[in-house]
């Protein structure tokens, strides 16, 4: 067990199939990235469970001095979200939306909800207090729950549940998938994204792959695992794609660059981008692989 002020839980058995048989891919500090030998699930064998500490007020607004930052400033991500999730908008807009409702898990500042059809009823769950307040500001009609999704008690029958780059953060993947299925109505649809750990570039990068985030990412998926295992939870896959480019603002690119190459921290590229007022400029940027997936409840 890791001994420090943070709280970790040792994972002795695969959360999906229950076996304790696994192989170690590589160590990450005192944690190990492991792969289940039965169902193929890749996960960390020690995981943080002090959720409120992980997703505190600094999670959505960080800087180059914080080595676990995810965004240069999440408030600048609105245009990124609008462009990045076009596949989800396209699917939802094609459907008849009369008297339909959507739940977004891990809604951030509510940017995704902002561009959905207005006659769709919106519900959002967000664990960060800071972000939850922003959702209400951006979507006055949305019903917002500031809490852990797994503790949420809400009537089901949703037509859509969306969850972008959230599934890999879960501490109990099995319960997460079962709960989503239970909240969907007949022919309800689950739309999600997650890093694709199965790409060659991620595998070759090993512990240095951007998707390897031992504080936040507990599970590591590939297309094969999704195809083989999501049907076991009552889902039919209707869209599955790995993308290698995504819209990203210059500030976030420079932030990631300082993590990958620490020498750049001394140059303060992020501060320079802010000074030149280009940090929010969006450009297509290569990624190591990201999964877009839409599944239907069966």
| Alpha carbon distance, N-terminus to C-terminus of the chain | 40
Q: Please give the residue that has the higher pLDDT: either 120 or 249.
A: 120
pLDDT tens figures, 18-67: 999 999 999 999 899 999 999 999 999 999 988 877 887 777 765 434 44
For residue 186, how many other CB atoms are within 10 A of its CB?
A: 9
User: Mean pLDDT, to the nearest integer, of 98-112?
Assistant: 93
Burial (CB count <10 Å: 0-12, 13-18, 19+), residue 146: middle
Q: What's the whole-number mean pLDDT along residues 160-166?
A: 97
**CATH code for the structural domain at 50-297:** 3.40.50.150
- CA–chain centroid gap for 6, Å, is 21
- For the question of whether the overall pTM of this predicted structure is more than 0.75, the answer is yes
Question: What does the pLDDT average to over 183-188?
Answer: 95
Q: In this structure, are residues 149 and 138 in contact, taking their beta carbons and an 8 Å threshold?
A: no
Q: CA-CA distance, 96 to 190, in Å (whole number)?
A: 16
- Residue 188, pLDDT > 80, answer yes
pLDDT band at 260; cut points 50, 70, 90:
low
Residues 6+ apart with CB under 8 A from 270: 63, 64, 72, 251, 254, 255, 258, 279
- Side-chain-facing half-sphere of 263: CA atoms under 13 Å: 1
Question: Could you give the percent of the chain with pLDDT greater than 70?
Answer: 85
CA dist 290 and 146 (Å) reads 27
Higher-scoring residue by pLDDT: 4, 175: 175
In terms of pLDDT, which residue wins out, 230 or 277?
Answer: 230
Mean pLDDT of 139-144: 92
Chain Cα centroid distance, residue 69: 14
| Mean pLDDT score across all residues of the chain | 87
Phi, psi dihedrals of residue 245, rounded to the nearest 5°: -135, 145
Q: Given this model, what pLDDT does residue 4 score?
A: 45
pLDDT 10s digits, 27-41? 999 899 999 999 999
Q: Is the pLDDT score of 109 beyond 80?
A: yes
- pLDDT tier for residue 3 given thresholds of 50, 70 and 90: very low
Distance separating alpha carbons of residues 96 and 109, to the nearest angstrom: 26
Domain limits, the chain = 50-297
Task: Name the residue among 110, 109, 127 with its Cα closest to residue 73.
Answer: 109
Q: What is the pLDDT of residues 203-217, one digit of tens each?
A: 999 998 889 999 999
Rounded Cα gap, residues 101 and 113, in angstroms: 11
Cβ-based neighbour number of residue 288 at 10 Å: 18
């Amino acid at each position: 067990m890791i001994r420090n002020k943070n709280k970790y839980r040792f994972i002795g058995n695969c959360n999906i199939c229950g076996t304790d048989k696994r192989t170690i891919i590589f160590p990450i500090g005192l944690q190990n990235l492991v792969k289940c030998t039965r169902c193929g699930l890749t996960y960390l064998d020690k995981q943080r469970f002090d959720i409120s500490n992980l997703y505190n007020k600094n999670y959505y607004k960080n800087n180059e001095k914080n080595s676990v930052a995810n965004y240069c400033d999440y408030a600048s991500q609105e245009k990124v979200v609008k462009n990045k999730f076009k596949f989800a908008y396209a699917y939802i807009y094609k459907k008849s939306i009369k008297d339909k409702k959507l739940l977004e898990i891990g809604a951030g500042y509510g940017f995704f909800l902002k561009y959905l059809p207005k006659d769709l009823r919106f519900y959002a769950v967000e664990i960060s207090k800071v972000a939850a307040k922003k959702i209400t500001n951006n979507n006055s009609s949305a019903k917002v729950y500031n809490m852990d999704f797994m503790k949420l008690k809400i009537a089901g029958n949703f037509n859509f549940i969306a969850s972008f780059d959230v599934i890999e953060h879960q501490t109990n993947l099995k319960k997460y998938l079962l709960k989503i299925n239970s909240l969907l109505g007949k022919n309800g649809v689950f739309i999600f994204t997650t890093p694709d750990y199965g790409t060659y570039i991620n595998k070759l990068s090993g512990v240095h792959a951007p998707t390897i985030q031992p504080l936040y990412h507990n599970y590591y998926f590939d297309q094969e695992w999704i195809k083989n295992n999501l049907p076991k939870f009552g889902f039919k896959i209707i869209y599955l794609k790995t993308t290698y480019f995504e819209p990203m603002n210059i500030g976030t690119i420079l932030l990631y660059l300082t993590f990958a190459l620490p020498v750049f921290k001394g140059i303060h590229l992020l501060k320079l981008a802010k000074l030149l007022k280009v940090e929010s400029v969006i450009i297509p940027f290569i990624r190591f692989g990201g999964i877009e997936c839409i599944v239907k409840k069966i």
